[in-house]
Amino acid sequence: MNERILVVDDTPANIQTVTAILKGQGYQLSVATNGTQALGVLEKLRPDLILLDVMMPELDGFETCQRIKSDEARRDIPIIFLTAKTETADLVKGFEMGAVDYVGKPFNAHELLARVNTHLTVDRLRRTLAEKNVELARAHELVRRAFGRYVSEEVAESLLRDPEGLDLGGEEREATILMSDLRGFTAMAERLTPHEVIQVLNLYLETMVDVIGRYEGTIDEIIGDAILVIFGAPVACDDHAAKAVACGLAMQLAMADVNERLASTRSVHLEMGIGIHTGRVIVGNIGSLRRTKYAAVGSNVNLAGRVESFTTGGQVLISEATRERITTALRIDGQFVVEPKGAARSVSLFEVGGIGEPFTLSLPSRSAPLRPLAAPLPVKFTVLEEKFVGRTVHDGELIELSEFETRLRSSLPPAVLTNLKITVAAGSAGNPSGEIYGKVLDSSGETPAHSRLRFTSLTPELAAWVKAQS
């Protein structure tokens, strides 16, 4: 045995007897003849157990025990009183001071060894358990941080508290899905080096992930510049739709800080569209025993992506299902009826500009007056189908401009919320050549059609010229 026992007694015969018994069992021993000397020994070494007499000069056993237990570094050392004071009042007082046991004098050697062995065993188990708890806490923190890269702190803690929540499998429940995507990111990425693209993405995602965490969203997927977020799973909540809308507004407000930080290092300006939809989805851990992710699947997840595809930069669009689920006051800045691909019927979409208590968030107005150009600017444009440029090229003219929008006159009346790619040649108006990507906000439906477009991306030189005209 390697345990060390401190024997404290003012009678040399008692010390001699006790040490002989303990040495025979292989224990290491230290001795002190009074309480003051015992405290001095404790300054130099730490015993595994203390055998302490009560009646001693200068500092008795009760006071010595109290001083030891008041020291944070030594209070867990087990103390056994070895004394002739075995009245009930003395026993109670000793336990109140922190002793773990009593051995009465005169003592039986077998009883003394049994009690010493028992309390040393208990203390070994206590220390082993404490070490395991430290390891468990360290592992818990490591896993929590890993989860925290994908879900909020609350979700991570919930999953760790419930081991069954990590099993493969799923369930159907109502949830709200948020989909965000940067506008014109592909065109911007072509103008930057790979290293710069990653830096821009990381700065943007770092900010967005923090915002999502504050509103208890669970990140299902990050695909390049797109983020898919679940609200209401895995931790259920009644206000998942309101939290999703508040999160979307907060994300848009956070874009001002993102662009301010980007402007200080490179001439990049980002805009993001956000679509939100509420419905029944299948949620759970999918994958294999080697690699698993928490995800939501189903037609309502796909519909959330469709809603996002109709957005312009800086916009938050929600479905009618989401609006009906929210009791908090909303500021609705616009309403559209669309026919998403794959949907069985038309869908009403609402542009949200603000949400009331307890969130109290509001986006600034995105409208700006269009100014007529001195002379129409000839352009050519094509309609984008999903991510692909159409083959038919149409002629048109830009007749009005602002920093964020333009009005296109053409023989083709493009459908509202259609995405267009506009090619501009260098002209006599001093404009440079370049490309404009935009989404149709409204269209006269006449011939020639007058269509208002919101910019989603411009080449830098053309963007500077447009800003100078507005």
What CATH number is attached to the domain comprising 391? 2.40.10.220
DSSP state of 433: P
Contact 199/264 with Cβ under 8 angstroms?
no
Residue 459 has pLDDT above 80, yes or no: yes
| Residues 258 and 285 reside in one and the same domain | yes
Look at residue 268 and tell me if it is in a domain. Answer: yes
Q: Examine residue 247 and state whether it is found in any structural domain, yes or no.
A: yes
Distance CA 150, CA 364 (A): 30
Q: Is 249 helix (H, G, I), strand (E, B) or coil?
A: helix
Phi, psi of 307 (to 5 degrees): -60, -45
Total domains, the chain:
3
Mean pLDDT of the chain: 87
pLDDT of residue 230: 94
Distance CA 76, CA 129 (A): 13
| More confident site: 339 or 29 | 29
Task: Kindly tell me if the per-residue pLDDT of 73 is higher than 70.
Answer: yes
377 and 334, same domain (yes or no): no
Distances (CA, A) of 441 to 41, 310, 378, 406: 84, 10, 20, 10
The pLDDT of 314-333, averaged and rounded, is: 95
Q: Are residues 378 and 342 both part of a single domain?
A: no
Chain-centroid distance of CA 222 in Å reads 14
Assign 415 to helix, strand or coil. coil
The answer to whether residues 350 and 456 belong to one domain is no
Q: Which two tokens stand for residue 378?
A: 């000839």
pLDDT tens digits for range 78-120: 999 988 887 888 888 888 888 999 988 888 888 889 999 999 8
Residue 145 lies in a domain: no
Q: Is residue 143 part of a domain?
A: no
Q: According to the model, what pLDDT value does residue 184 have?
A: 77
- Please say whether the dihedral angle defined by the alpha carbons of residues 91, 93, 98 and 104, taken in this order, is positive or negative: negative
- Of all residues in the chain, the percent with pLDDT exceeding 70 is 90
> Token pair for residue 331?
């500021």
Q: Tell me what pLDDT residue 147 has.
A: 62
CATH code of the domain containing 44: 3.40.50.2300
Whether 137 is in a domain gets the answer no
307, 330, 362: which is the final residue of a domain?
362
Are residues 346 and 314 part of one domain? yes
Q: Which amino acid is at 263?
A: A
Domain that holds residue 255: 162-362
Residue pLDDT, tens place only, 211-264: 999 998 988 889 889 999 999 988 888 999 999 999 999 999 999 999 888 887
Regarding whether 237 and 356 lie in a shared domain, the answer is yes
214 and 314 housed in the same domain: yes
List Cα–Cα distances, 300 to 159, 176, 285, 345, in angstroms.
Answer: 24, 9, 18, 13
157 domain-assigned? no
The span from the CA of 234 to the CA of 214, in Å, is 16
54 domain-assigned: yes
State mean pLDDT over 8-19: 91
For residue 169, is pLDDT > 80? no
Of the three residues 327, 362, 397, the one that is the final residue of a domain is 362
Domain end call among 339, 362, 385: 362
Q: For position 159, what pLDDT does the model report?
A: 62
User: pLDDT at position 270, please?
Assistant: 87
Q: What is the DSSP string of 284-318?
A: EEEE-SSSEEEEEESHHHHHHHHHHHT--TT-EEE
In a 3-state reduction of DSSP, which class is residue 236?
Answer: coil
Query: Does 168 score more than 60 pLDDT?
Result: no
Between these two residues, 470 and 204, which has the higher pLDDT value?
204
176 belongs to a structural domain: yes
- Tokens at 392, concatenated: 């038919």
**Residue 153: band (very low, low, confident or very high) from pLDDT cuts 50, 70, 90:** low
